[in-house]
Structure 1
Amino acid sequence: MKTQRPIVQDDDHRVIQFRPRNALHASQLQAPLQPQTRQPEKLIEPLDLSRYEKPRAAPDDFRQRMLANIAAFAFTVALTAVGIWLAMSIADLRRTQDCVLMARRDCVRISIH
């Protein structure tokens, strides 16, 4: 049996050159053999996200946030319980259906109180 290879057109392939994220990294890649000269010390910015923070109009309402967290947790627990109940009832229905399809007579469970 002869194997067939797809026809490849040259216009479908392109090489994309990625640029470095910062200029310091780019200068090190472009000229690694040049001796490094000592530059004057720059002010180092802190590496946190405080410069992106916006001032808030009102302070946080922690009571409302806690109530929302409790409501979300209760909803998640209820949704999980419904999912488990649904999975168990589908499994029970499948067991009963398999029993009936095998032509057995004792398929239904009788609960005695």
Structure 2
Amino acid sequence: MKTQRPVPAEEEHRVIQFRPRDPARSSAWRADALMQPVHKDALHKDTLCEPLDLSRYERPVEEPDDFRHRMLANIAAFAFTVALTAIGIWLAMSIADMRRTQDCILLGQRDCARIATPDSPL
């Protein structure tokens, strides 16, 4: 049996000629993109003078970095995360156990509850 392929139309496969940008225009555009207006009403290219970098978000170097405080905060955050994870696991296990017991009772079985004796482990 022959495989049937669709016949491509002339308009589907078109080669577009690459035209490089004008170097003078593209460099001016890049310079405008890297600058930010100083004032809200400064929409003209003449008033662009502040470079777009992250220096305006940096903290002043007046106070030294407190490594000990940062490490204690990280340890406290890690302990809190571990505690939340442990509580979540315990809660999921107890809900699953209660669900098993409830399903057993609803099915009418008699030996649903686990009774701990001193001789046998849970």
Normalising TM by the smaller chain, what interval? 0.5 to 0.7
**Higher RCO (C-alpha 8 Å, min separation 6):** 2
- Report the number of matched residues: 80
Tell me which residue corresponds to 1:104: 109
Identity %: 68
Normalising by the residue count of structure 2, what TM-score does the alignment of the two structures yield? 0.52
2: distance between equivalents of 1:72 and 1:34?
A: 52
Normalising by the residue count of structure 1, what TM-score does the alignment of the two structures yield? 0.56
**Which stretches in structure 1 are left out of the alignment for 5+ residues?**
1-31
Q: Could you say which structure has the higher strand fraction?
A: 2
- The within-5 A match list for 1:41-80 is 48-80=53-85
**Which stretches in structure 2 are left out of the alignment for 5+ residues?**
1-18, 36-50
Render the CA deviation track for 1:15-45: whole Å, top value 9, x for unaligned.
xxxxxxxxxxxxxxxxx999554879x7x89
| Rg comparison, structure with higher value | 2
Tell me which residue corresponds to 1:89: 94
1: distance between equivalents of 2:57 and 2:105?
A: 65
RMSD over aligned CA atoms reads: 3.4
